[in-house]
Structure 1
Amino acid sequence: MKLVVLGLSLSSAWGNGHATTFRALLKAFAARGHEILFLERDVPWYAAARDIADPDYCRLAFYADLADLRRWTAEIAQADAVIVGSYVPEGVAVGRFVQETADGTTAFYDIDTPVTLAKLARGDFEYLSPEIIPGYDVYLSFTGGPTLDRLEQAFGSPAARALYCSVDPALYAPTGAAKRWDLSYLGTYSPDRQPTLDRLLLVPARALPDRRFVVAGPQYPAEIDWPANVERIEHLPPADHADFYSASRFTLNVTRGDMIAAGWSPSVRLFEAGACGTPIVSDIWDGIETLFTPGREILLAADAETVIAALGAGDADAIGAAARERVLAAHTAAHRAAELEAYLAAAATARGRATLAGAA
């Protein structure tokens, strides 16, 4: 099929998890024989930090504003499917334009579902508004579980389907890098994640001054008091992620508050670290046990004492190997691309039935 995607970013992974998600998914989708055009709003903060210019699995093009987006009217109209992603600038207007223009299936891909729903509850319609949700043939959600029922019953989505993040196993695998850190964390600063990062990494670091820790990611406030044994990496390009995880005895997963409340909201870091065979220590939320088996494929921690005990455990390699096996069996980009293809095909069939019913 011909697919057009309007997403936050494909060209730059700086300060966002969207780019790595789209890269893995679209590469795998193209491998299934599909043709893809990715349209990205040209904004200075990503333009200054682009790490992909010409992907070999899709066509990447930029538009300056809504008026400039209309240059792509023919491609959007003629596509078999068009996907609009979350956090796209002026996303409500972009969504209306797509729904008015596309002759094929339309989908909203929400990489931030709990955050989106919290914004809608506040009347914050930054990139999605309630009235355009029913106009998308399918709502693809990073969150599964009860949230899917809510999207259909409370917001009128014709079909809400879980399309979790995934990993490209060609890019994320054990590299053999020498172990540098006992516990690592990779993620952009977020105020609602910071208390958990403090509790599950900084407190253990202060309690274990002979152990080595690292926090990688941008936008952390200057006033944070980092212990001396916590290394800081301001930005870690995706090309360096596999080495980062491979150099970690354990890595920490920390989930945003809205996603904990919703449950069933895995971070892409879970699958990337798992694919590298790195044992994961995670905060706790509903649905995580459907992705990894606690105690065998992942360690769950509510407090610093649990993390400290995990760092002293002797079964780290077995947990990392089991996590990698689970990821390769269920959470690769190839799995998600097959799911996406099935969802879009089903939505196209449903759209065809609705058209025939209307004509009758």
Structure 2
Amino acid sequence: MTRLAFYGSSLLSSYWNGAATYYRGLLRALAQLGYDITFYEPDAMDRSRHRDMEEPDWARVVVYEATREGQRAAAAEAALADIVVKASGTGYEDDRLLRLVMDAARPGALRIFWDVDAPATLAHLARTPDAPLARLLAGLDVVLTYGGGDAVVSAYERLGAPACVPIYNALDPDTHFPVPPDPRFAADLAFLGNRLPDRDARVEEFFFGPARRRPELTFLLGGAGWADVDLPPNVRWIGHVPTADHNAFHGTPRMVLNIAREDMARTGFSPATRVFEATGAGGCLVTDAWEGIEMFFEPGREVLVAGDGAALCDILDDTPTHRNSGLRAAAHRRVLADHTYADRARKVHAILHARALTPESA
């Protein structure tokens, strides 16, 4: 069985960790294809106190101290693996971890950088051309990304990566599925997202602005970091929403909103996890406009797309209950047919197979 060492933000906690369900879905599906997975995560950003998952039976999890010594000890274990993956945004000295992990990888091991925030990473490389990642790209076997389309692929290859392949978000139908409505999450429109600097303006445009223009409607906000924001009176903030509540959060409101971060909207082709999880939970999804959405869902038949806050208000005004139900059903069928983590894992497996690293049991 091929051993895969994965260094990421967290598998056990979704707290300040939007990639959690992406990691869980993909790695679980890869384990089912025969990979022996160890996930290494730092005890950083208070995630350990907000765990919403126990260690699974399909991966070993090593939580290391967010200190240089703890990081060094965890990185040294890369020498035991056949495939070594360093993901972006772990939360503690990422550049140093990348160097330590790749230095520790044994000769012949496959070396992968997995970028879960390619627009931000590429912007950083443009500002800092001598960054450790830029120097190491040519020595990697492949860069895998959370999304980004041709623009991200071309950018990484120009920087020296031997190959770059997007592995998009998807749905794990065993964890995200329709459940009965929960009155805790009743609203006309709900949005789930942590507060981030490059999301503030878009949240104002697509969520707070429409809330002010439609005071008779109810708006629900989930996620961390919104405590000091002056919310409209019809917006109810409920704080961090653990993954166990995501299905009800997405499926209960009349509509659920996706808002891309500024850099992801600009780059395009980077659908957030909630796009697939919300539709998998039977939600009626409204998303801000971003390039490439037609690759994943059909606008107007499976999801609704708003170009600005005024268009979002029109959608709230003009979507009757019977159309809402039809959108939910159509999107749910599409996500199950075309966008599951089993599909994505088969693509990753094919990439590894092409590099002659196929699990013995696969």
TM-score (norm. length: structure 1)? 0.90
CA distance in 2, matches of 1:292, 1:43: 36
CA distance in 2, matches of 1:5, 1:178: 36
Matched ranges for 1:48-63 at <5 A: 48-63=49-64
Alpha carbons 2:76, 2:100 under 8 Å: kept: no
Aligned to 1:182: 188
CA distance in 2, matches of 1:195, 1:42: 31
Aligned to 1:335: 343
Residue 272 of structure 1 deviates from its aligned partner by 0.6
CA distance in 1, matches of 2:319, 2:288: 18
1:275 aligns with 2:280: yes
CA distance in 2, matches of 1:125, 1:9: 27
Matched ranges for 1:268-347 at <5 A: 268-311=273-316, 312-314=318-320, 315-347=323-355
1:155 aligns with 2:159: yes
Gaps of 5+ in 2: 358-362
Alpha carbons 1:92, 1:132 under 8 Å: kept: no
Alpha carbons 2:75, 2:97 under 8 Å: kept: no
CA distance in 2, matches of 1:202, 1:309: 15
Alpha carbons 1:109, 1:140 under 8 Å: kept: yes
Matched ranges for 1:128-277 at <5 A: 129-142=133-146, 143-152=148-157, 154-178=158-182, 180-222=186-228, 224-277=229-282
Gaps of 5+ in 1: 350-360
Residue 92 of structure 1 deviates from its aligned partner by 2.2
Residue 348 of structure 1 deviates from its aligned partner by 4.2
1:95 aligns with 2:98: yes
Residue 208 of structure 1 deviates from its aligned partner by 2.3
Aligned to 1:2: 3
Aligned to 1:356: none
Residue 117 of structure 1 deviates from its aligned partner by 0.7
Runs of 4+ that moved beyond 3 A:
65-75
Closer, same or farther: CA 94–294 of 1 in aligned 2, 3 Å: same
Closer, same or farther: CA 124–190 of 1 in aligned 2, 3 Å: farther
Give the one of 82, 90, 112 matched to 2:84.
82
Residue 323 of structure 1 deviates from its aligned partner by 1.3
Secondary structure of residue in 1 paired with 2:47: helix
Which letter does structure 1 place at the counterpart of 2:7?
A: L
Residue 63 of structure 1 deviates from its aligned partner by 2.1
Alpha carbons 1:98, 1:106 under 8 Å: kept: no
Residue 44 of structure 1 deviates from its aligned partner by 5.4
Residue 178 of structure 1 deviates from its aligned partner by 4.9
**What is the aligned-residue identity percentage?**
37
CA distance in 2, matches of 1:125, 1:323: 44
* CA deviation string 1:262-312 (max 9, x = no partner): 111111110111111212111112111111111111111122332222223
TM-score (norm. length: structure 2)? 0.90
Secondary structure of residue in 1 paired with 2:28: helix
| Alignment coverage as a number of residue pairs | 346
* CA deviation string 1:207-229 (max 9, x = no partner): 2222211010111251x322222
Which letter does structure 2 place at the counterpart of 1:215?
A: L
CA distance in 2, matches of 1:178, 1:2: 41
CA distance in 2, matches of 1:13, 1:251: 19
